[in-house]
A and B are shown apart, each in its own frame.
Chain A
Amino acid sequence: MSQASVRKIFIRLVLVTVGMFGFGFALVPLYDLFCDVTGLNGKTNTEAFIPVAELIDTSREIKVQFIATNNENMSWEFRPEVFEVTVHPGEEVQTTFYARNPSSDRMVAQAIPSIAPGRAATYFHKTECFCFNQQTLSGGEQIDMPLKFIVDRDVPRNVNTITLSYTLFDVTKTGVIQTDSLVAR
């Protein structure tokens, strides 16, 4: 038996082990990239979309519905000002969400969006969104939070209704985590 070849195999296998440990972590951005490319998981853009002058496709109408949910233990009042709008693809639309902090303490919230059906997510461009940043409200304070979006003209023909859901998380304790630090766009 040769000690040298045992050593060679040992070193190789240790390298494979280290490599696979790294690959485990690489799965995180790969997963986000995969979701981004395929539009799976209903994830939307996390930074403002820069609109290019686009024609408005007035021949199509798409219903966009809004849902606001509080994650557990989140005490804020949180709701869309309108629950449904009808838009033409290519048209920039503005709406607002209302939030109020009924507690007496300053709180920080983060809204996390999700789109259904998931395949519409890549065609839903937000040019301005309160979900791009965390919201800080002192006790009793209320706010109207703007949302501007464009539904892409290339949205598949069989998509007639898009539901945009926001879940509001209490991040007062966890604080400064930025959404885009971990999410590959």
Chain B
Amino acid sequence: MSDHGPAKGFGRWLFTTNHKDIGTMYLWFSFAMFLLGGVFALVIRSELFQPGLQLVEPEFFNQMTTMHGLVMVFGAVMPGFVGLANWLVPMMIGAPDMALPRMNNWSFWILPFAFTMLASTLLMDGGAPNFGWTFYAPLSTTYAPPSVTYFIFAVHIMGASSIMGSINIIATILNLRAPGMTMMKMPLFVWTWLITAYLLIAVMPILAGVVTMMLMDIHFGTSFFNAAGGGDPVLFQHVFWFFGHPEVYIMILPAFGVISAIIPTFARKPLFGYASMVYATSSIAFLSFIVWAHHMFTVGMPLAGELFFMYATMLIAVPTGVKVFNWVTTMFRGSMTFETPMLFAIAFVILFTIGGFSGLMLAIAPADFQYHDTYFVVAHFHYVLVPGSIFSLFAAVYYWLPKWCGNMYDERLGKAHFWLSFVGLNLTFFPMHFVGLAGMPRRIPDYALQFADFNQISSIGAFLFGFSQVFFLYIIIKTIRGGEKATDQVWDNPEGLEWTLPSPAPYHTFTTPPAIK
């Protein structure tokens, strides 16, 4: 079995049930969507370079903000982490493959169809969805363009893909661990993905439900969200955010796992507080279900509701703080070196904390009335998503790429990519805090004159960040095609079963379970 290599030609990718092949496809798909969503973002930033309407119509601008959000959340970040899980979870727990390999193939291959369908709405009469990635009713029902139906089915397919991926990951982790790999010996990346997969299974069906209600309102005359028929648009927001808040943790928990793998390697110390990391992740997952209405402080909730959601939200800072302190303590007095994955990991810890703090500001219900729907919110969630989720994906690629393809990346180029991204992202998103606090609303193509300077800085930063990612593509391709051969360990005594395998990792690994110390 172990000398059975991959099939030849395109059929290899179409019919593969190999977790490494599927992981690779997920990662490339994620990167393609990252570039597509990035192009949408650059359209937004180009229009906002100056006040007034220059390049695009307001209608098209709204389509860009919507598509940027949808593509980045469902196309770039989520499949990116599923790709990492496919590659790494079996290798980390000593399993030969995923538990349900055929379903694995299916859950990947429906994704390109979903996103082709979503992207095709840009070419349709009436344009693409223009109601924001949160698609609040009635904007997404009564006032939606006809293409909304394609959007709904695309979301259904993405949801099905995520649910199948999660079932697979849970079944793998619970069943295929090598003998001796107890739950509390699992690497944190495996732990965070296990919890994430449970979150996905709990909330993706809710998302499917809410778009189904929209579909019925639009085409079958029901009135879930239509006040004239006895429905309620505020209900939409409750159901959406009941999905939406766990969703933001779905996008960050695997990142916590990645960072918890990288920092110990380059600090040359074991991770501080492993057990507390597991418990903190679980508490964050639990709390994510009871804070959703902090996205809707301004809809007119009673005082008790505002207070409950405010305090519950602030409570999340506690387990998150545990994590940040654990990472810092891991680095403390370590013999640190600063290879590219570590640079991204350290930037993650610092910048994600900034995003966490602005989140705390937004959690203060009375203050949120001023921040709501301003650029401050945009600054906040980009600070947790870009240096959070995206940087952890970059860090993971640099950290594990030598294991995947057998070649070391060029350290000089990697560092250059890091610094360009770091400067670009801070230039883009930091000024958004200021314009937001000064009152610039989000999702507008034009703005008052006094915001012009900061917006120009943001736009310049966005182009710098965007083009750095083309550079990243070049670095990856260069590494895959050649370069210095990586050793089996790749790094200096990294922890984990994947480093006991040869580099590049053979097509089939752990067909006989490894011995766990």
Task: Give residues in A with beta carbon < 8 Å to B.
Answer: 1-2, 5-6, 9-10, 13-14, 16-21, 23-25, 27-28, 31-32, 38, 40-41, 46, 71, 110, 112, 118-119, 167, 169-171, 174-175, 177-183
Contacts and interface: CB of A to CB of B under 8 A. Distances in A.
Nearest to A71: B228
Given A112-B227, A182-B222, 18 more contacts: A13-B171, A17-B167, A17-B201, A17-B204, A24-B208, A27-B235, A27-B242, A31-B235, A40-B301, A40-B302, A112-B228, A169-B227, A169-B228, A175-B221, A177-B230, A179-B229, A181-B230, A182-B224
A71 B201 CA distance: 39
A24 B239 contact: yes
B230 A41 contact: no
7 A-B pairs with least C-beta separation: A24-B209, A169-B228, A20-B205, A21-B205, A177-B229, A179-B230, A24-B206
Most buried by B among A16, A17, A27: A17
Prevailing SS type, chain B contact patch: helix
A31 B234 CA distance: 10
Interface of B: 95, 99-100, 163, 166-167, 170-171, 174-176, 201-210, 213, 221-224, 226-232, 234-235, 238-239, 242-243, 300-302, 305
Contact of A41 (B176, B222, B234): B234
A43 to B, nearest CB: 8
11 contacts: A5-B174, A14-B167, A20-B202, A24-B210, A40-B302, A71-B228, A118-B300, A169-B227, A171-B229, A174-B229, A183-B230
Nearest to A5: B175
A120 to B, nearest CB: 12
B248 to A, nearest CB: 18
A100 to B, nearest CB: 19
Contact of A10 (B171, B176, B221, B232): B171
A19 B206 CA distance: 10
A23 B239 CA distance: 10
B232 A1 contact: no
A41 B166 CA distance: 37
A163 B226 CA distance: 22
A70 B176 CA distance: 62
A182 B208 contact: no
A72 B411 CA distance: 61
B167 A13 contact: yes
B144 to A, nearest CB: 15
A38 B305 CA distance: 11
Contact of A21 (B167, B209, B229, B232): B209
Contacts of A175: 221
Contact of B221 (A21, A40, A169, A174): A174
Given A1-B176, A5-B175, A41-B232, A21 B208 contact: yes
